[in-house]
Amino acid sequence: MINIENVSKTYGSTNVLDSVSLIIHPHKTTVLIGPSGCGKSTLMRLIMGIIRPDRGSIYIEDQMLTPNNVFAIRQRMGYVIQDGGLFPHLTAQENISLMAHYLGWNRDRIRDRIFELCKLAKFPPDALNRYPVQISGGQKQRVSLMRALMLDPHILLLDEPLVALDPLIRFELQVDLKEVFQALGKTVVMVTHDIGEAGFFGDEIVLLKSGRIVQKGTLIDLVQTPAEPFVTRFINAQRSPLESINRGKID
Amino acid sequence: MRALLLVLLLVNASEARPATQIKVGSKVFTESVILGEMVAQIARTEGARVEHLRQLGGTRVLWDSLLKGEIDIYPEYTGTITQEILADKYIRDEETLKRALGQKGILMSRSLGFNDTYAIGMKEDFANKLGITKISDLRNHPELKLGFSNEFIDRADGWPGLRKTYNLPQKDVRGLDHDLAYRGLESGSIHVIDLYSTDAEIRYYKLRVLKDDLNYFPEYNAVLLYRGDLKERAPDVLNAILRLEGAISESNMIEMNARVKLDRVPEGVVASDFLRKNLSINTESRGETFITRLIRRTLEHLFLVAVSLAAAILLSIPLGILAYRNERIGRAILGIVGIIQTVPSLALLVFMIPLLGIGSIPAIVALFLYSLLPIVRNTYSGLRDIPSQIRESAEALGLSPGARLRLVELPIASRSILSGIKTSAVINVGTATLGALIGAGGYGQPILTGIRLDNVGLILEGAIPAAILALLVQGLFDLLERVAVPKGLRLKGE
């Protein structure tokens, strides 16, 4: 469980987050969504401890995040970023196993874990020795996911993991990702700006606007009982591919 | 047993008294190098271990080095001592001069026999035609055109004083470059020039040096200045050296200068010939073959470059990391190394002399300071340019800051850091040629001598190896890049 209590963060004179409180439930997928600059990525970085809140506290599994315990706590969380954030000087395998090596895992344990993850993430093992520049965008995200899962963390954080991919690969990866989430039952937090993707993944959707939480609930809650007109506007702002055809029929 | 002890004692005694070591200095002009070479050769025949630090610098450098004991002896001129070195003291005669030097622990020889002062010269045949032999004769020829070096025109003890003392009437007086003055004299566009009384050109251009009949110019008698301890340390060697007192006439010196500058005979040979002919001292002018000379200079040059560059790498990379980690300290670091880079290299070398003296150490320190900026800046920018996703991913994994630096950030920045080192190395190879100015040797030595003697061959003897070394260094780093930069960074995306 992640507990965010009255967290505020300002950059210069901009209030990026304004007294945000949120409980993220274990074994569920929570999606943070909202327009650009709403504070969703900042919230993610705060949970990782990459930046610190100006006010308020963050608890990861009942432990308050402080500069002292941040390195230990991070090892209980996996992080996938847009574009993968893979280290270009390391092969896919070295990227995945970097942290395990650092922690002194033995070779067999690392190899077994990597093969397990290859199966889970549907990544071809013979591509493990390729460097990031030698693999496609979709494959990079699979490697990034494997790297995040290597230490078998309780929590998985994904910051717009699919945004840079072309639609077909994105579709395929969405399905695979959801399978992984369901198979592992981890606490997942995902940031996206795509309401369709939010509905596909989210057990709970948290809609943010200008550093505040506007509404949280399932996609159905957001559609049927919007907390304010903005919610409806935000949902309707995303065009359905079939929209123009439907309109043609009505005309 | 007793015999054995005696032998041991003898061995010990001979080990306890190694050959006397003498360091000779000379200034950056031909005459000084010839005189220095004579001193060195005589000392060598007396069995001393001699090092001749040729064309070490100007008066200041030689004098300071003598005081510090970095050299033991060098040729100087009385006028220079009174006008420059001891300019703050009132010196009436040779006795007061000797006393003032003695207070600093420095002794002075008697005159070597010639006076190398400012002089006024004309073409021999032209002077003959007008019947001019002394400066006061110029008074009767107001139509003569005078061409003086710019320094001579400006100095109070140059032309202004000369005109006043001799009451000279000439109106057509112009300042011009010394070399052009000789050519003007040849073509007849000027008639009278200033020169040094032992200039090689006096012979070449067939000039007459006019007699200073009112004793206007101060005396610049050539002498040897040496440290007082030399007298106790090596009395025999010193006595041999002092045989030069009164031994060299003005025409001897002009002839020797001309042989070096005009006939391109090495100074050592000219000095050796003179010693054999006039003092019956048989010396060896240490002949070095081209190859041994080249090897020695290459080693000297590599030493300067390698030590200064290694020290710069060891300091610059941590400084670059510090600059990246802390913005405020970073600005200060980049500012300071940037300022160091703007100091002209020649000035930086000269600044080093009062702090560290002469030789390879001050040169290495100066080169070290010059090598900092490219490495610091490339380390800093290589780290700073790492995309934020990669930096955050490393942070999110839970790696400690040190592990992030070692496992992720430095490897990714390695190409930039290496290219900074490469830039420093190539600049360093070039700048190290200036080290010769303060006695550090290397490829700069023949360049310096070549400039002094206007000998392109000698200049190339230093410049070509320096250029080749720079290319080799560059090639070496290109190879190193294949080893040091991780493969994943060298691949191109498909």
Residue B10: pLDDT over 50: no
CA-based nearest residue in chain B for residue A46: B396
Tell which B residues from 348 to 387 touch A, by Cβ distance under 8 Å: 387
Rg (chain B; Cα; Å): 29
What tens digit of pLDDT does each residue of A108-159 get? 999 999 999 999 999 999 999 999 999 988 899 999 999 999 999 999 999 9
Separation CA B66–CA A94 (nearest Å): 63
Question: What is the percent of chain A with per-residue pLDDT over 70, rounded to a whole number?
Answer: 95
The shortest CB-CB distance from A99 to any of B392, B398, B492 is to B398
Q: At the topology level of CATH, where does A1-76+156-162+184-251 sit?
A: Rossmann fold (3.40.50)
* Greater pLDDT, A245 or B160: B160
Question: What is the percent of chain B with per-residue pLDDT over 70, rounded to a whole number?
Answer: 94
Q: Which pLDDT value is given to residue A248?
A: 53
Q: Which pLDDT value is given to residue B12?
A: 45
Q: Which of A99-103, B154-158, B217-221, B276-280 has the highest mean pLDDT?
A: A99-103
Chain B residues with CB under 8 Å of A75 CB are: 397-398
Interface test with B, best of A87, A91, A97 (most B CBs within 10 A): A87
**Mean pLDDT in residue range B176-182:** 76
- AA identity, residue B281: I
What tens digit of pLDDT does each residue of A45-95 get? 899 888 899 999 999 988 898 988 888 898 899 999 888 889 999 999 999
What is the least distance, in Å, from the CA of B409 to any CA of chain A? Answer: 9
In this prediction, residue B11 has a pLDDT band, given cuts at 50, 70 and 90, of very low
Separation CA B307–CA B309 (nearest Å): 6
Separation CA A193–CA B108 (nearest Å): 90
Q: What are the structural domain ranges in chain B?
A: 19-115+220-279, 118-209, 290-489
Q: Which pLDDT value is given to residue A97?
A: 95
Interface test with A, best of B383, B386, B393 (most A CBs within 10 A): B393
The shortest CB-CB distance from B396 to any of A79, A84, A89 is to A79
Interface test with B, best of A45, A79, A80, A89 (most B CBs within 10 A): A89
The shortest CB-CB distance from A85 to any of B389, B487, B493 is to B389
**Mean pLDDT in residue range B84-96:** 81
Separation CA A107–CA A100 (nearest Å): 10
Q: Where are the beta strands (DSSP E) in B58-209?
A: 73-77, 106-108, 118-123, 146-148, 173-175, 192-196, 207-209
Superfamily of domain covering B19-115+220-279: Periplasmic binding protein-like II (3.40.190.10)
* Greater pLDDT, A36 or B414: B414
The distance of Cα B278 from the centroid of its chain, to the nearest Å, equals 30
Interface A–B counts its CB contacts (< 8 A) at 84
User: Is there a shared CATH topology between the B19-115+220-279 domain and the B118-209 domain?
Assistant: yes
Does B389 sit within 8 Å of A79, measured CB to CB?
no
- The mean of the pLDDT values for chain A is 89
What is the least distance, in Å, from the CA of A56 to any CA of chain B? Answer: 21
Tell whether B401 is within 8 A of chain A (Cβ). Answer: no
**Mean pLDDT in residue range B84-108:** 86
The shortest CB-CB distance from B412 to any of A88, A102, A147 is to A88
Total number of residues shown for chain A: 251
The shortest CB-CB distance from B488 to any of A50, A83, A132 is to A132
What tens digit of pLDDT does each residue of A220-250 get? 998 899 999 999 998 888 766 666 666 555 4
Structure tokens given for B56: 């070490």
Q: Which pLDDT value is given to residue B15?
A: 42
Separation CA B454–CA B481 (nearest Å): 41
Tell whether A48 is within 8 A of chain B (Cβ). Answer: yes
Q: What are the structural domain ranges in chain A?
A: 1-76+156-162+184-251, 83-152
- AA identity, residue B131: G
Tell whether A249 is within 8 A of chain B (Cβ). Answer: no
Residue B361: pLDDT over 90: no
Match domain B118-209 to its CATH number in 2.60.40.1180, 3.30.1360.30, 3.40.190.120, 3.10.180.10.
3.40.190.120
**Mean pLDDT in residue range B424-432:** 93
Structure tokens given for B259: 């042989």
Q: At the topology level of CATH, where does B290-489 sit?
A: MetI-like fold (1.10.3720)
Tell whether A99 is within 8 A of chain B (Cβ). Answer: yes
- The mean of the pLDDT values for chain B is 87
Separation CA A68–CA A19 (nearest Å): 24
Pairing assessment for the beta strands A55-60 and A2-11 based on DSSP bridges: antiparallel
Q: Which pLDDT value is given to residue B174?
A: 85
Structure tokens given for B240: 């041999």
Rg (chain A; Cα; Å): 19
Does B411 sit within 8 Å of A134, measured CB to CB?
no
In this prediction, residue B8 has a pLDDT band, given cuts at 50, 70 and 90, of very low
Chain A residues with CB under 8 Å of B494 CB are: 133-134
Give SS3 for B22.
strand
Q: Which pLDDT value is given to residue A246?
A: 63
**Mean pLDDT in residue range B411-432:** 94
Q: Which pLDDT value is given to residue B9?
A: 45
Report the run of H or E that residue A214 belongs to, with start and end. Answer: strand A212-217
Task: Report which of A142, A205, A128, A133 is spatially closest to residue A173, judged by C-alpha positions.
Answer: A142
Tell whether B492 is within 8 A of chain A (Cβ). Answer: yes
Chain A residues with CB under 8 Å of B487 CB are: 89, 131
What is the least distance, in Å, from the CA of B381 to any CA of chain A? Answer: 17
Separation CA B271–CA B338 (nearest Å): 47
* Greater pLDDT, A217 or B265: A217
ipTM confidence? 0.86
What is the least distance, in Å, from the CA of A101 to any CA of chain B? Answer: 11
Instruction: Give the full edge-to-edge strand order of the sheet including A212-217.
Output: A77-81, A155-159, A187-192, A29-33, A204-209, A212-217
Instruction: Spell out the alpha helix ranges (H) of chain A.
Output: 40-48, 70-74, 92-102, 107-121, 137-149, 167-184, 195-201, 219-224, 229-236, 243-250
* Greater pLDDT, B354 or B386: B386
Structure tokens given for B69: 């004991």
Q: Name, in order, each residue with C-beta under 8 angstroms of B97's C-beta and a sequence gap of 6 or more.
A: B78, B81, B82, B86, B91, B108
